[in-house]
Structure 1
């Protein structure tokens, strides 16, 4: 059962608007935070908001620590990798060169760093986290663990096949990071592991990581608009418009931004109980700067809840990370059950995604995404995050379900209680506590 009128449902399942917005975003090319393409992407969203009839469309600029890619290389033994499809720098890395014995630490779990002497070494870790570990281990945590163990260089090997070196932030709020860092593909990583790591039996080959890049201050921007009545309380529907510089950023997170604009267009045709504010944040990929900026500039008591859309688009199978907000997760279940569509739910708190800037303050916030085969990001953060991997029918289906969820959470009689900062602090997995402290993002006084 849909909460939208039949005319709006028909519009949702036949419209090409979300796809056209997504096409415009990927056509921008590089939407790296703080660079010209991110500004162009923000303008694409402004135009989409205006076409959808939303009001009070605004762009809000703010300062961030920017990063610009230069050349990178990895030399191990007699082999030197210089091509972009072989080795690429990780944003937040410093410029520099580091040489040391080459050592692989497998998944890069805490115990993997404790079991070997890594002082003065160049350390390689996989992007994969084992299914039975209990929580996903972010690349930044592996990078920081390597640096803390005395490593002089870091190599991040993809676990997804396709000759795709991964990118991704390692500096976060401690930019630039302490040691040079690059990504290599699963295939390159397997060859390096096979030919150059000797395990504990004998000394590994010598490796040199070289990175040329710039770390400088620049500006990013958020784009926002509102639909519905002028109520004191409001629902936020959000996504991030920035993407890594090596790809189109179609699924991560062009699709999410296109969905935010489409949801706004559909909701303009619906009578809402509560105002809905639609926001596309800048600078998610390098430290959630856009979300933090918005949260710090507004009274969060007026935010009823936040629905953040990230990684939605590669299928119509919807998932939601509830961050422990039972009532908000229950609303997703109520809506999807009524519409007879499947829902996957993850209940633990996750500090990954723009919703974290609100979760940490106790604002009910979730991440909505698509469920698909495979582990980790899939094509995300690689050259292969391209439009051809997505399907307009999936965007239409997601826009319909998510619009119904927004209408439901905006119901005046539906209560979605906030939590205290203390409650959130107590619910965070201790592994994530360590990650947040390591990345300079721990928001609580001890």
Structure 2
């Protein structure tokens, strides 16, 4: 027996509302932060919120450092002369400056700190894999590898994908330091392997030529609410932006579409809600969680009961959450999945990846809510292949009533989620993530 009424759960299992929203989002095309498509995606969400009948529906604009892609080429000389310029071979990484550099290519494998320590990168171009070693207790982030290359004296950075299919991976390298100090590109696994092979024949020199535009622009969050007008609020969030090279279907059109569906379901039980629920698809997640930080900085965080952030859900029906060591929040997910008699995968590590981090770092209970997949790392995420055909509406129908029931239960007046202090949170973060945050210039705590 679930707390959500049977008719609401039954409605969820025949709904196409989320899928219709998702189709419209992917048809926008480029939803890069601060660009026209991101605003179009946000307007589609606003329309969905108004159709549902949420109150206080509006779009909030805020300033960001924008980035626009130009052409990129990678040419080799020395052991082998080649030129790569097709977008299935090489693409610029967001936040990169324009520039041309020419130097010896040095591969640093997984890009661990010890890999950089062992390599002579002064005046060289560093190349690192997108993969993390199997024995690592966390995913080694692209930004950490880029920043480590800069610290080691590299003049350029090449990020080689480990997923086959002629799919160079994109992803932000500037964050709060846009533009980054050295040119950076992503290359496909196939090009990466070719560069490795040609480097075995002797010294391989590469020339990176990158064109990009960095300048201020505006991004947007979309807001809508349901339930009583309480000071305390449960937040259900996602991010509407996506990288400019693909549809952004799973990352994170799916999460945004699910938030719209959860809002539709909870509107049906609005009179039973005991706490206000605010739905916020953020802008600019992919370039440093800018929309989430904007929201956190403009809220009274002591009134935020919890944050349920949906990102990476929809590629299967199997729910996964990371409650960031907020035990009561993890208990809630376990309680609801038990009610639905479905499995739940969990992680207990405090992670700085995803919009929930803007709240977690301040001690607000917040989860990353996703679904499990069999892919390694991001899989098709951050590539041209993040497209609608990889997803199935039946998985959305399974996930939406579960997450809606989590939000519905979290809104119970007597349901408590104790907050932590900033100092308590700081002391709980694993050393590996401390390393990543500090290297990438994202450490939010004073020393």
Residues 32-60 of structure 1, C-alpha deviations (whole Å, 9 max, x = no match):
00000000000010011111111110100
CA distance in 1, matches of 2:151, 2:102: 17
Partner residue, 1:350: 351
CA distance in 2, matches of 1:260, 1:287: 21
The reply on whether 1:127 has 2:130 as its aligned counterpart is yes
The reply on whether 1:224 has 2:223 as its aligned counterpart is yes
CA distance in 2, matches of 1:167, 1:359: 26
Count of paired positions: 442
Residue 197 (structure 1) shift: 4.6
Residues 76-122 of structure 1, C-alpha deviations (whole Å, 9 max, x = no match):
22001011111000001111011111111111111110111111111
Partner residue, 1:93: 96
Partner residue, 1:19: 19
Q: Once superposed, what is the RMSD of the aligned Cα atoms? A: 0.9
CA contact (8 A) 1:92 1:171 kept: yes
Structure 2, unpaired ranges of 5+: none
Partner residue, 1:413: 414
Say if 1:252 and 1:368 are closer, same or farther in 2 by CA, change over 3 A.
Answer: same
Please give the TM-score of this superposition, normalised by the length of structure 1: 0.98
CA contact (8 A) 1:104 1:197 kept: no
Residue 181 (structure 1) shift: 0.3
Partner residue, 1:154: 157
Please give the TM-score of this superposition, normalised by the length of structure 2: 0.98
Partner residue, 2:379: 378
Partner residue, 1:65: 65
Residue 131 (structure 1) shift: 2.3
Choose which of 114, 119, 130 in structure 2 pairs with 1:116. Answer: 119
Q: How does 1:36-435 map to 2 (within 5 A)?
A: 36-77=36-77, 78-197=81-200, 204-270=203-269, 271-435=272-436
Describe the SS at the equivalent of 2:333: helix
CA distance in 2, matches of 1:358, 1:170: 22
CA distance in 2, matches of 1:263, 1:95: 42
Residues 384-423 of structure 1, C-alpha deviations (whole Å, 9 max, x = no match):
0000000001111111110111111111111110000001
Residues 300-326 of structure 1, C-alpha deviations (whole Å, 9 max, x = no match):
000000000001011111100111111
Residue 434 (structure 1) shift: 2.4
CA distance in 2, matches of 1:197, 1:172: 34
Partner residue, 2:30: 30
Residue 439 (structure 1) shift: 2.6
Residue 285 (structure 1) shift: 0.2
CA distance in 2, matches of 1:407, 1:99: 57
Say if 1:141 and 1:180 are closer, same or farther in 2 by CA, change over 3 A.
Answer: same
Describe the SS at the equivalent of 2:61: strand
CA distance in 2, matches of 1:440, 1:130: 23
Describe the SS at the equivalent of 2:135: helix
CA contact (8 A) 1:76 1:196 kept: no
Structure 1, unpaired ranges of 5+: none
Moved over 3 A (4+): none
CA distance in 1, matches of 2:379, 2:314: 13
Describe the SS at the equivalent of 1:133: coil
CA distance in 1, matches of 2:345, 2:432: 23
